[in-house]
Each structure stands twice: as structure tokens, then as C-alpha cells.
Amino acid sequence: MEAMNGIVLIDKPAGISSFGVVARVRWLLSQYAGKKIKVGHTGTLDPFATGLMIIVVGEYCKRASEFSKLDKTYEATLRLGSTSSTGDPEGEVTPVSDRQPAEDEIRTAFQKFSGVITQTPPSYSAIKIDGVRAYKLARAGKSVEMPTRQVTIYKLELLEYAYPTVKIRTHVGSGTYIRTLAEDIGRELGVGAYTAELRRTTVGEFDIRDAQQLDALTDANDIILRELPAQESALE
């Protein structure tokens, strides 16, 4: 491994933060190089989530926003009947309803979440409010007023339904929160919902099948550092 410039595709496991993934790759590369190597990410995944992360190394850190603007595909498991203070299994879960919606009702609800929609991002998110990460304010018990945003849902598929779980696959534009999508679906159904499991499978043309397992990286030589051709852009 000579030049320390490029991207690394990582399959993030559950239970580690995105910053933890970056720190692991940085430590391995820096140990190898004998100096601190610049390493960053192109979009976080929540600690409970798994899946594709594009890690940028060296000069590619300047292109991080290029990758973060790409469309993404997720597979998620929604749990109906309750809400969570964080929108995921790590928050305080509150029962809402024990009504069991029919599958047709769920498919009908999905139709309202297609194309350009308005979302209110979760307060437990990395969005900055007056220069402070929203999740830090929320954890401190401070009231957080999140600004709404327009996002794009290109496709929303029902993969499996066995109450109380709904498994979905969705192709979305940059900035879309799946936790918010789950909550909005639960609200539309009138029974509440939160995201129990979440996995990111694609970012643009990059696929989880080409990603490396983080736990398998024990040495810098294990890391596959990819460089894009000079004329190629991540957005193409």
C-alpha cells in the first residue's frame, strides 16, 4: 500500500458508532504509515444500524460531500404498536396501540410516502442546531426544535409483514431519515412505529457486496483502498 488516498467500503456492524469505524481505519493506516493519516466518513449510520459506509482517505477527504449527496438504499424492520424516544430500539419505548393493521392497509399507507415528501428529522440526529449536534441537546434534556426538510423517496417496497414487524426496502435521496419514515408510517396507520433494525445496502453505485467487514481488518494490509479514475466522479 503506497499512496494513502482513496475510499474504503466498510460493512459497519451494529453496536459501534460511525466515528468508531473511522477511528479504526485511521489507526490501522496511521500505524502502517508511521504518521497520522487523514480519514473521514461520507455519511453516518446510527450505532444500532449496519451496512455500507464509504470511508475517505487522504486527498479524498476533500470529496466527502460528493459521496454524501448520493442516493441510498436501505432495508429496515419496523415495529408497529409502539414509539421510541429515539426512533430506534435504543430509546424509551412507549406502547401506542395493539390494533393489527391489515397488509392492504400498510400498502395503502406506503403510497403516501412516495416522491418528494416533507420530513422532520429526529431530535436524536447529527444535525447541528446553533452549532451543536441535536442528539447532544436531546441527551441533555433540552428541547430541540428540528427544521423540516424536503426529501425524496424513489421506491418503498414491502418485503414481509408479520405483526408487529414490517420489513421494507427503500431507495431514497440524500438527507432522508428512515427512523422518521418509520414514525410517519406508524402515525399514518394510527398505531405508532419505530425502526427496530436498519441496514444500508447501497450508496450511489457502491454496493454492500463489495464492502469489507470491519472486524476482519486487523492490519493496514487488510484494507482495500480504492481510487476512482481521474475522470470519474462519484456522482456519475
CB 186 within 8 A of CB 77: no
- DSSP3 helix / strand / coil % (the chain, rounded to 5): 25, 35, 40
Phi, psi of 12 (to 5 degrees): -70, 130
Whether the CB-CB separation of 165 and 80 falls below 8 Å is answered with yes
What residues contact residue 215 under an 8 Å CB cut-off, 6+ apart? Answer: 13
HSE-CB of 68 using CA atoms within 13 angstroms: 15
Burial 158-188, CB ≥16 within 10 A → b, else e: eeebebbebbbebbbebbbbbbbbbbbbbeb
Write the single-letter amino acid at 177.
Y
Residues with active-site annotation: 46
